[in-house]
Amino acid sequence: MQTLLAQKPITVIRPLGHLNAATVRDFGYQLSTAISDSGVAVVVDLAEVTFIDSAGLMALVSGLKQARKLQRRFSLCSVSPGIRMILELSQLDRVFEILENVDSFEPKNACVTSYH
């Protein structure tokens, strides 16, 4: 499903359930496509993610690296306490821009495509 949200230059990716070795292939593809196509910024909304493993973390790190290479902004938002603890233990909380929610993203211009 695609949704255009006016006045926000972001693509929002909303993975559901587990972000692990079994699901990371599709997620990684969507993430890579969004980063390549968006031209502005990508926000990964983790509100509906209940579990993340090392494969899921690596997909996020790969997305961040790709975004930096293309000079795109890359952020995480709506991180649950359990997933935040995993990010802190792996010290990835220091690497990612982590927002409270999608609405806390400060736009610079353009529009949004949301992929589910």
Q: What is the CATH number of the domain that holds 82?
A: 3.30.750.24
Nearest of 6, 8, 26 to residue 101 by alpha carbon? 8
pLDDT at 115 over 90: no
Domain count within the chain: 1
pLDDT in tens, 21-60: 999 999 999 999 999 986 679 999 999 999 999 999 999 9
Higher pLDDT, 71 or 5: 71
pLDDT at 114 over 60: no
10, 41 contact by CB (below 8 A): yes
CA atoms of 66 and 54, how far apart (whole Å)? 18
Instruction: For the chain, give the mean pLDDT.
Output: 86
**Residue 65's domain spans which residues?**
2-115
